[in-house]
Amino acid sequence: MRPLLALTTSAALAAALGGCKGEPLDAPWCGDAPDTGLPPTSESATWWVDIQPLVEQKCLRCHDEDAHAPLTFETYDQVAAAQALVRDAVLDRRMPPWLAAECCTDWFADFGLTDAERATLIGWIDAGAPEGDPAVTGDALPPIGGVSRVDLSIMMPEPYTPDPPDGTIDENRCFLLDWPVEEEVRVTGMAPRPGAREVVHHLIVASVGAADVAAIERRDADDEDAGFDCSGGLGEFPTATPLGGSLLGGDYPRGIGSVVPPGSRILLQIHYSTSSDDPPADQTSLDFRLDTTAVDASAIVIGNAAWLVGEGMRVPAGEADVGFWYQFQPLLFTGGKPVDLQGVTPHMHRYASRMRVLALKPDGSTTCLLEIPEWEFGWEQPYWFAEPIRFEPEDKLYLECRFDNSASNQPDGQEPREFAWGDNDQDMCAAFLSFTHVDP
């Protein structure tokens, strides 16, 4: 399984041949449908009956005292004290950080709030956040997300302090971690635990085979600081097999797993983004769920190799809506056989505004695989389908990314400047479809 791969070299996209830019697909974005507003809600909601079960199900994975979110929401007093912040974040859909549009398809482990749940929470706050009677409680809801069990935890061998900000460039730093398991196992779930969440913007975790380990160890030893610079991404390491890339973590669905052979090492790539002149040291750890058997999955890389060259993905300064699109038939990945699509991971940077991934049928119909109406780089994650989606050999894939390079969308009030495909202070447009083969 390859749910996330950093595309920063042309080799990483060279396999995605067989299409051209052409014209954008003349099909509406489902998220552009008129907003009908929140549904009516009862004014009798209380913390103990209605709100606590919802918070425990969809918020505590990040907002308990041991997690990395800045606020803790374990008690009524904690949530009531932050009710104005909660209302604003829920109203504009910034929280929970589930970017995938509900109108596209159904999702596995969807921790976003439905419109009815948003209405209940906002209505409760607008009514004065009544606590209710602790003796009268609502039904407990099962928590969504997180790994169901932790079989192994490993940590960066030493802390690393990222550089203070210079106005444009963040850091991509790689760390080599020991893998102590002496038998072949499969990773079936993973949850990162950032040591300093305020500087860990996002991360990618991969296993590397013995053929790459010696070269990576030399790079690590040659750098006087912890880890080493890896702005070139994981495409530099031929045997790197990504295991995940979401800060939120969780189990993979339907018994899917990724093999980690004995003798492997774990390569952790962290994108550090700092805003303080005195950034904290980070020592991130990783929790794994392990099984001896699992359903092995592969990935289809969706993107245009031409975007990596010259002005192939040029975004002019000051433009508020610049689009790039690509469609192709992924026979190189599927071998011309039916496959079951299991999930999709988007990858864009800070100037991106929206993305969609569609399956195109020969009759002209489309199946929405992912639509993100409002992109937020800090919450990049895999989105697993609630049920596998069958993809036939004659079907095609379509990717569209939109970018906002206007003056209002610049970091730290900088002037807009032209950019193209690139790391950190530029942008990218790619997606990764996890799939499994269909038994004959």
Which is more confident, 201 or 362?
362
Domain of residue 381 covers 10-25+297-437
Residue with tokens 């790459």: 212
Q: The tokens of 226 are what?
A: 């912890």
Kindly report, residue by residue over 363-393, the tens digit of the pLDDT. Answer: 999 999 999 999 988 788 889 999 999 999 9
Q: What is the DSSP string of 78-113?
A: HHHHTHHHHHHHHHTT-SS---S-TTT--BTT--SP
Q: Last residue of a domain, which of 293, 323, 341?
A: 293
Length of the chain: 440
pLDDT above 90 covers a percentage of the chain that reads 52
Same domain for 364 and 408? yes
Kindly report, residue by residue over 196-248, the tens digit of the pLDDT. Answer: 888 888 888 988 888 788 888 998 999 989 999 887 666 667 777 778 777 77
CA distance 93 to 87: 10
Same domain for 276 and 315? no
Q: Mean pLDDT throughout 239-259?
A: 83
**Per mean pLDDT, which range of 206-215, 249-258, 352-361 is the poorest?**
206-215
Same domain for 375 and 249? no
Q: The tokens of 108 are what?
A: 């596995």
Same domain for 260 and 334? no
CATH number at residue 220: 2.60.120.310
Residue 118: inside a domain: yes
Same domain for 332 and 369? yes
pLDDT, averaged across the chain: 86
Same domain for 257 and 193? yes
CATH number at residue 356: 2.60.120.230
Residue 66: inside a domain: yes
Which is more confident, 239 or 189?
189
Residue 143: inside a domain: no
Angle (CA) 218-223-224 rounded to 5° is 130
First and final CA of the chain: distance in angstroms?
Answer: 20
User: Domain total for the chain?
Assistant: 3
- Report pLDDT for 185: 94
Residue 81: inside a domain: yes
Bridge partners of 153, per DSSP, are 287
Q: Last residue of a domain, which of 226, 260, 293?
A: 293
The answer to whether 201 and 273 are in contact (CB under 8 A) is yes
Same domain for 315 and 430? yes
- As a dihedral over the C-alpha atoms of residue 15, residue 18, residue 22, residue 28, rounded to 10 degrees, the angle is -80
Which is more confident, 19 or 266?
266
CA distance 118 to 31: 17
Residue with tokens 């890389």: 301
User: Strand 285-291 and strand 185-193: pairing?
Assistant: antiparallel
Same domain for 101 and 208? no
User: Strand 185-193 and strand 265-272: pairing?
Assistant: unpaired
- Report pLDDT for 168: 56
CA distance 153 to 392: 39
- Report pLDDT for 235: 62
Kindly report, residue by residue over 99-118, the tens digit of the pLDDT. Answer: 999 899 999 989 899 889 99
Q: The tokens of 30 are what?
A: 């489902």
Q: How far is CA 191 from the centre of its chain?
A: 12
Same domain for 172 and 289? yes
Same domain for 302 and 289? no
| pLDDT level of residue 424 (50, 70, 90 thresholds) | low
Q: Mean pLDDT throughout 80-98?
A: 92
Residue 380: inside a domain: yes
The total of other beta-carbon atoms located within 10 Å of residue 421's CB is 27
Same domain for 197 and 77? no
Residue 203: inside a domain: yes
Kindly report, residue by residue over 111-150, the tens digit of the pLDDT. Answer: 899 889 999 999 999 999 999 999 999 888 887 777 889 9
Nearest to residue 233, comparing CAs of 263, 255, 194, 203?
Answer: 203
Same domain for 165 and 208? yes
**Greatest C-alpha distance within the chain:** 66
Residue 140: inside a domain: no
Q: Last residue of a domain, which of 233, 258, 293?
A: 293
Residue 138: inside a domain: no
